[in-house]
Amino acid sequence: MGYGTFETLRRQNAVLKGTVELNSGIQLAAWYNNCDTVTVRSDHHTLSLYVADGYESYQKTPHGWKNGGGPDRFCLMPKGDESVWDIHGDLSFVHLYCTDAHLRRVGEEVWDRSPANFTLQEKTFASDDKITAVYRQFLLANDWRQPANQLTLSAASSLLLTHLIQHYSTVQWRLPTVTGGLAPGVKRHVLAWIDAHLDQPLTLADLAQQAGLSEFHFARMFRQSLNMAPHQYVMQQRMAKAQNLICHSALPLTEIALACGFSSPSHFSHRVKAATGLTPLPATGGAARIARRNSPRRAPRPRRRSQFPPASPRWR
C-alpha cells in the first residue's frame, strides 16, 4: 500500500536513503533532511527514530515551537493527527509505517484479543531504550535489500508493534506468559522445512504457519526449544550450508550465495567472513577456497633496503 507520510516526504527536500516493504505490508524508510518545513497528516501510524543529529528539529505546538531532538529520540505520530515540523540542521531518521490492521493482527496473535480500534499516544522527542535497541540492533544492522534478512526485519517490526500496544496505546495489555517449547514433532517439521527453504526469503509468519502458531507464541516457544531466536537459527543454517558448499562443491560463489538465500555475492562474502573469519575465494573451486586460507604461511623473504621513500597507501 502507499503510505501518505512517505509520499509527503518524497515531495519535500527529504532524501530517501533506503526503503523496504515487508511481506506484512509494513514499510521501513531511511531518510535524511535539512532546511525543510513539513506538514504531515496521514491515515496510518508512523514510528520515527532519530539516527543521527536532529538537534535543530522543531515541532509546532499550541504554545510555540518545541525542540528536543537528537540521536535515539523517537516520535510516534498516530493516524489522523496533524503535525508540522521545521528542520534547521542535519537530520537522519528511520520511519516505520503501519496501519490499524497491523496492530489488530498483532493484538490477535499475542493476546488473542482485538478491540475495534487501537488509539496510539502521540510522542515527540521521547526516549525508549527498547525502541532504540530494536532499531539499532535489528533494523539498522541489516541490509534491507537482502532477502536473507527478511526474517530479522519482520521479527523486529512485530516486536516494535507489540511494544507500542503495551506502552503507548489505550489498552496497554501485559504480555502473556509463554511456558514450554515446541512439541517434538512440530520442532522436527519446522527445522526440516527451514533446511528445505534456505534459498528463499523467510519471514516469521512463514515459520509460525508451519508450526500452526501465532508469530508471538512461535518465537518464544522456538527460543525455549533451541536457545536462540528463529532469525539466529536460520542465519546459522544458511552459514552451515554455505561452508559445506564452499568446501565440498565446485559451484561458483554466485550460485552458492543464491542457494543460501543471498541475492548478492558481496553480502554473502561479508556474512561468511563474519561467521568464519575467512573470505571465500571466487576463482577456485572446492575445498581449496578454504584450505588456502588455512595453509601455513611461507617465511617472508628479506627485504632489500631501498633508496626511495615508501609508497603512499592505496585507498579503496
Instruction: Delimit the domains of the chain by residue range.
Output: 4-167, 177-227, 242-292
Q: Phi/psi of residue 139, each to 5°?
A: -75, -45
What value, to the nearest 5°, has the Cα angle with vertex 160 and ends 157 and 19?
Answer: 40
The per-residue pLDDT for range 46-82, each reduced to its tens digit, is 999 999 999 999 999 999 999 999 999 999 999 999 9
pLDDT of residue 23: 87
For residue 310, what is its C-alpha cell? 615508501
Residues 67/54, Cβ–Cβ less than 8 Å? no
What is the DSSP pairing of strand 36-41 with strand 27-33?
A: unpaired
Most confident of 10-14, 252-256, 289-293, 303-307: 10-14
CATH ID of 4-167, from 2.40.50.140, 3.40.309.10, 1.10.1760.20, 2.60.120.10? 2.60.120.10
Which region among 51-60, 133-142, 174-183 has the lowest average model confidence (pLDDT)? 174-183
pLDDT of residue 265: 82
pLDDT-derived band at 300, boundaries 50, 70, 90: low
Q: Which residues contact 118 (CB under 8 A, 6 or more apart)?
A: 100, 103, 104, 107, 165, 169, 170, 171
Whether residue 95 is predicted with pLDDT greater than 80 in this model: the reply is yes
Coil, strand or helix: which one is 195?
helix
Task: Give the strand pairing for 91-98 and 45-53.
Answer: antiparallel
Residue 184 has pLDDT above 50, yes or no: yes
Residue/partner pairs of 272-276 with CB below 8 Å, 24 or more apart = 272/239, 272/242, 272/243, 272/246, 275/239, 275/243, 276/239, 276/243
Rounded to two decimals, what is the model's pTM?
A: 0.79
List Cβ neighbours of 254 (8 Å cut-off, separation of 6 or more): 265
Beta pairing partners, 216: none
Query: What cell does 164 get?
Result: 507500542
